[in-house]
A and B are shown apart, each in its own frame.
Chain A
Amino acid sequence: MTGGLQRVASTVVLVALSLLLTALILWVSGYRVGDVFSGIIQGAVTAPGAFTSTIRWAIPLLLIGLGVVIGFRTGFFNIGGQGQFYIGACCALAVSLGWREGPVPLVMLCGTLAAVGAGTVWSLLPGYLRVRFGTDEVLTTLMMSFIGALVLQYLTAGPMRNPSGTGQTAASERIPDAFRITDGSGVSATVLVLVGGVALLVWLLLERTRFGLSMTLVGRNPTMARWQGINVSRVGLAAFALSGALAGLAGAVELYGPGARLVTGFSPEVGFTAVVVALVGLLTVGGTVVAAVLFGGLQSAIIFLPIVTDLPPPALVLLHGMVAFLVTIRFRAVRRPKTLGGKAAAS
């Protein structure tokens, strides 16, 4: 990690620059930047329940973001977190509604496993095409993400639609309260232990195991990794599988936690924001935790803010875009292998 401090500094500067540019746009549009700033502090930290809300929004960002860290470190631009998240949530919902009379812990375990499995499958398909045929994973994961969103839309508007539901937005039935691990706030000891444990496991995997090291090596230089006897395809597939599993798990947590039911197109930005979170976190587990809380705080504030300064939520999308636009400037940790898999590997 040569120049680690420099990278941290440049990321902090770039994120600050993005905030500054967004503040400038707000100022030009006639918002009082001071009010917005104090509103953000209130909405993310100081107001009653605000910090809980920050953590609630940080949790899916962290889980999906950790998947992004694994993928990007191994050199794969798996940007399909959104679809994997949706598919995971859908499968957990299907299990929980289909077997709602079953023993609670067993149903929840099956639902969570279904979510993790579905996310894995959703990610492994592009992963297999990538390592076997060299098919560009940016495109395929993006496409799988769109397909996942349409599957959710189909299920919530069709087979799983709440028959007694009213209103325009398609939504599923609620799962029984016994299945839930949090109340509507989305934060409880169970969730925190679960998510903390997962983050710890990912850290151990990446920083303390041989396999994690081989992932980083494949990401840095796949040719060299192959010469050193690493099975590059297997490491690549594992990276895709783990990314998908984490995003699927995030879907299950969302359902069993704050959601309790699925609404079409819920949390539409979370997959992309998780990519931003991982990059701001410099593709490290600790950094991603910090970045997830930061962006969770902004998300929480934007829900809180309309009360304070009537700032419309799209301002947050604008800010995320700004950070993404700038944060990879001079970013050198991510390199995609150009010769992995398929014919190119043979030649």
Chain B
Amino acid sequence: MEQILATTLRSAAPLVLVATAGVFAFRAGIFHLGLEGLMITGAFTTVAVGDATGSVELGILAAVGVNLALSALYWWVIGPLGANVIIAGLGLTSIGLGGTAFALGAIFDTRGSIFTDVVLPRPVRGITSGAGVIISDLSILVWITPLIVLAAWVVLRRSRFGLRLAAVGEYPFSARSAGVNPSIVRLQALLISGSLCALGGAELSVGALRNFTENMTNGRGFIAFVAVIFGAWHPIGAALAGLFFGFADAIGIQSQINITERVPREFVLMIPFVLTIFAVWLGGLWRRRSLEAEAGYAELREPD
């Protein structure tokens, strides 16, 4: 049981970080399908720069930088240039997955994966028995993830920016009449989102592990996307959903070890996707208007 909980925290932390990233984009009315791509560029850049400089902090800084640039490009394409949000988002994901796999070959002259010596600091380590196993050897990012979620909640709920974001997402016309430029607010939301994806990717590559593997996100960006929907576009809800999916993943890993014959891992892995279909269906029935940020979404599809 302790082992499952420990694995849950490790699996959930990147999901929660990227889900929080997704919440910011969704609140701005952007259906961000590029999360997966930004997550893997974050994971790769952290390893590549961290390994080259020997400093994990510089690696993360570089990852945030790369993701800020990519997010700004995404904003430029879907905003001022009027490209389709969903297709461009999926394109961004392909650019991330293909680009990092390609860069792996071009820079490190290898296919598959690279190992690195840099790793995130781990405040508590070396506990091997009892309940302490759960929190032992977690990276610093796992520890600060709850703080990031809380901060996101405060920003969205209590700050001027959060209100503007809500206005832009739900009714850009009123935002504009209040003197807010929806386009700029969307850019800000996407930049925050990109930075958080970088952290999520970094946790994946140098938090629990010490390597970068081609396609290592393995759909986690989409699961995080799902967690946003499942968590009703709320940072706390999305974090809980991320935690739950991390738990499902942990059970899947355990079942692979213990009870493969009875519960095939694939069925455990399906849980988030099946639940999401139910969640969007029921969510659509219950709160058709309030949280769907439909107006903002519609405006982005046909900008003025």
Contacts and interface: CB of A to CB of B under 8 A. Distances in A.
A141 to B, nearest CB: 10
A275 B273 contact: no
B88 interface: yes
A327 interface: yes
A331 B267 CA distance: 39
Given A29-B106, A138-B31, A158-B264, A324 B111 contact: no
Given A317-B101, A329-B83, A324 B91 contact: yes
B253 interface: no
A321 B273 contact: no
Given A30-B106, A143-B276, A338 B88 contact: no
A330 interface: yes
B1 interface: no
Contacts of A343: 288
A317 B86 contact: no
Contacts of A325: 74, 77, 83, 88, 91-92, 94-95
Contact of A147 (B31, B273, B285): B273
A5 to B, nearest CB: 19
Interface residues of B, number: 54
B102 A146 contact: no
Contacts of A320: 91, 94, 98
B249 interface: no
A223 interface: no
Nearest to A314: B101
B84 A318 contact: no
Contact of A321 (B31, B92, B267): B92
Contacts of B257: none
Interface stretch (B169-177, B191-199, B294-302): B294-302
B229 A139 contact: yes
Contacts of A114: none
Interface string A112-132: 000000000000001001000
Interface string B83-116: 1101110111111111111111111000100000
A136 interface: yes
Contacts of A338: 294, 298
A318 B90 contact: no
Interface centre among A144, A276, A317, A338 (most CB of B within 10 A): A317
Interface in A290-347: 312, 314-331, 334-336, 338, 342-344
A40 B219 CA distance: 30
Contacts of A211: none
Contact of A138 (B86, B91, B92, B97): B86
A324 B90 contact: yes
A321 B82 CA distance: 17
Interface residues of A, number: 56
A11 B46 CA distance: 35
Nearest to B95: A321
Nearest to B275: A143
Given A143-B276, A317-B101, A329-B77, A133 B270 contact: no
24 contacts: A29-B102, A79-B90, A126-B277, A139-B226, A150-B269, A158-B264, A269-B94, A272-B90, A276-B87, A314-B102, A316-B98, A320-B98, A321-B91, A321-B92, A321-B98, A323-B91, A325-B74, A326-B77, A326-B88, A328-B84, A330-B81, A331-B82, A331-B84, A344-B288
Interface of A: 25, 29-30, 77, 79, 126, 129, 133-136, 138-140, 142-144, 146-147, 150-151, 153-154, 157-158, 269, 272, 275-276, 279, 312, 314-331, 334-336, 338, 342-344
Interface of B: 31, 33, 37, 74, 77, 81-84, 86-88, 90-107, 111, 214, 219, 222, 226, 229, 264, 266-267, 269-270, 273-274, 276-277, 280-281, 284-285, 288, 294, 298, 301-302
Given A139-B276, A146-B219, A324-B87, 15 more contacts: A25-B99, A139-B280, A146-B273, A147-B273, A276-B91, A314-B99, A314-B105, A317-B102, A318-B95, A325-B74, A325-B83, A325-B92, A329-B81, A342-B284, A342-B288
